[in-house]
A and B are shown apart, each in its own frame.
Chain A
Amino acid sequence: MNARTNMLNKLRAAAPRGASTMPDVAAYYAGRPAATLAERTERLAAELTASHADVRVVSRAGWAVDVARALEEKGVRRLLLQSGAEGQLLAGALPAGTQAAEFSRPLEDWKAELFEDVDAGFTVADCAIAATGTLVHLCGPHMPRTLSLVPPLHLVLVDAARIYATLFDAAAGENWPARMPSNLVMISGPSKTADIQQTLAYGAHGPARLMVFILRAEGEAA
């Protein structure tokens, strides 16, 4: 505790006197023109595509079929699912060559298997951010952290109605400060690096490929 006391004492002795005003971040972002749902959807798709993700806008009735078709295209043999209704729906629509399982065991019990044998992971994003093409994952009991990270192909389903215009809107709209999960992850493309001579390469340590399925909002024309 000695280091703690010393460090805090030194800072307290030097800290400026008098109150300083808290910067108003909300005021800075206020008053920007609101984007419509269609604009937000379009922007999300465009930004993700620019970041090298494969983006498809799908219908509520047929999304599982579209995902299944993509799995077949990519030759996915072993698929890992997030537990929940969407995962079950997808499991019922899989192509013949794809075998699916829910992420249901603690990581320690099957680490090598996850790293070596799983071809793809399927998750449902909590929400998304249009401006930067970002998919928000709230990791918890039903959303393991490694599901969106270890398999080389990551497939994400996101509801267009859950797309925010900006990071500020998402943080405020979802009231993150009051409900932070153990791990909140924002994903804006496949894993990449430019560490060798500024040359962009994908699939550094995370998924080399990211496929995003945007669920068209209710009442929107096809």
Chain B
Amino acid sequence: MSKHPMQFVPSADFKERARGALDDDKLRKSFRGAMDFLQAKRRNQFSDEEERESLRDLGSAIRKYALANLPDLLEQLERKLTANGIQVHWAETAAEANAIVLDIMQRNAARRMIKGKSMASEEIELNHYLGEHGMECVESDMGEYIVQLAGEKPSHIVMPAIHKNKADVAKLFEEHIPDTPYTEDVDELIQTGRRALRQRFMEADVGLSGVNFAVAETGTLWLIENEGNGRLSTTVPPVHVAIMGMEKVVAKLDHVVPLVSLLTRSATGQAVTTYFNLISSPRRPGELDGPREVHLVLLDNGRSQAYADEQLRSTLQCIRCGACMNHCPVYGRIGGHAYGTTYPGPIGKILSPHLLGLDEAGDLPFASTLCGACSEVCPVRIPIPDLLIRLRNEAKRNPNETVATPLRGQGAKHSAAERVVWQFWSGAFKSPKAWAALRWGATRLRAFTPGAQAGWTQHRTPLKPAPRSLHDLLKDKGQPE
């Protein structure tokens, strides 16, 4: 493993990193290739437009229903899981979630953890925390394993190593895995990864996984994957710890049916993934394998802030397919690392402000062209551009203003000067007399327009008022004012 793993880069440096990414030809080629590939695969899966749209309606309704009943469903889930023998833990913060996992490991005298894919564990920086407490965490998803060897973080929520090409992986494996010659043959590389991780599965004391859907009705954790590492992580070690954002619960088992179809088709363009792993209890008497203990950690970590606001609540409908990033013109050009957050792309821009605060993630809602491609492909119809505009407003709002559902970091992008300019503008716009005066002034004084106009002229020619206003031109044509 790398000695200096990548830490959470403060999203304050977003613009600088984005600039760097834009200048990185190899990175841009990796992302362009991946985006084209994933977009085409998704399109093939949804060739029937009517079916696609009706399924999106249903998926959206299911997620909305789950959120409308979230506290009740979480309690029902806890009851059912407990009855099934799965232990439920609640964590308000990342620190609490980390401490819960460490405590489970210590009580089991565990030292080695094998990890299936879990973005929630990335969000709380579990590996780093457990590492500091003498625990060894190994990622087993091939993409996650690659970024862990490189000392990096995932750049995509579904395909973590999407920014790397096979030559990068070949070099990493040659360097980090003993007796591995350099090869760009992908089959060979995967077999090398498989062999390197096999021993880890056998030796692990604890397996950690994420959760795609939790079913309140039956007390079931529904996990989706292609590789089999998720099944191994949740089956072979004596203890399994699952961690999930608390919004991922759904009411009924059959509610998952349309959701998995939307998820796999939107994410990787597959009608189904190789494995659906439905875990409802630890090893029962008479069974020969499976973990003796299963734990579920329910994580808030800022989600309740989004939940508190009727409009922002729809952020939590997300089923983490990544289609929004796969279709985003910004993400496709700067890649996932530029964002500096666990969740990049459009979903990251609307979710991160709740997890980190607008003071940390305040640039992200502005890093969008508002083209709307994200909401067009979102399988559960999250109105992402509307939420981006709302978050921009909250970032610009006066920090001292009292609002019904305040956001952490409200007013992080507030500027008194900008506020004055807008007040002047709206005042001038509201009064016909003031507007006429402004018009008169602007058309006469246009020669004094500055050549450098803040951010605008960085890539564009300066703005200059026309010699005559539209009002004046129309008046010439005999139109009454």
Query: A residues within 8 Å of B by Cβ?
Result: 3-4, 6-8, 10-16, 20-23, 25-26, 28-29, 47, 51, 103-108, 111-112, 115, 131-134, 139-141, 144-146, 149-150, 167-168, 171-172, 176-177, 180-199, 201-207
Contacts and interface: CB of A to CB of B under 8 A. Distances in A.
Nearest to B69: A20
B166 A196 contact: yes
Contacts of A171: 253-254, 257
Nearest to A182: B281
A25 B252 contact: yes
Contacts of B254: 25-26, 168, 171-172, 177
Nearest to B228: A206
Contact of A204 (B62, B142, B279, B300): B142
Interface of B: 30, 33-34, 37-38, 54, 58, 61-62, 64-65, 68-71, 74-75, 90-92, 96, 140-143, 146, 159-161, 164-166, 169, 186-187, 189-191, 193-194, 197-198, 201-202, 217-220, 226-229, 231-232, 235-236, 238, 246, 251-255, 257-258, 260-261, 268, 271-284, 286-290, 298, 300, 304, 307-310, 313, 405
A191 B146 CA distance: 18
Contact of B186 (A131, A167, A180, A196): A196
A206 B277 CA distance: 13
Nearest to A16: B68
Instruction: Indicate the member of B169, B190, B260 with the most A CB atoms within 10 Å.
Output: B190
A14 B307 contact: yes
A26 B58 CA distance: 11
A106 B186 CA distance: 35
B211 to A, nearest CB: 14
B464 to A, nearest CB: 48
Contacts of A25: 58, 62, 252, 254-255, 257-258
Contact of A6 (B92, B219, B289): B92
B155 to A, nearest CB: 12
A180 B64 contact: no
Given A16-B68, A25-B62, A132-B272, A11 B74 contact: yes
Contacts of A167: 257, 260-261
A5 to B, nearest CB: 9
A40 to B, nearest CB: 16
Given A3-B300, A47-B271, A195-B141, 15 more contacts: A11-B74, A20-B68, A21-B65, A25-B252, A107-B289, A111-B202, A132-B272, A133-B272, A141-B284, A177-B217, A196-B186, A196-B190, A199-B166, A203-B194, A205-B140
A145 B235 contact: yes
18 contacts: A10-B300, A14-B307, A25-B58, A26-B254, A141-B288, A144-B287, A150-B232, A171-B254, A172-B254, A181-B280, A193-B190, A195-B161, A196-B189, A199-B166, A201-B187, A205-B201, A205-B232, A206-B227
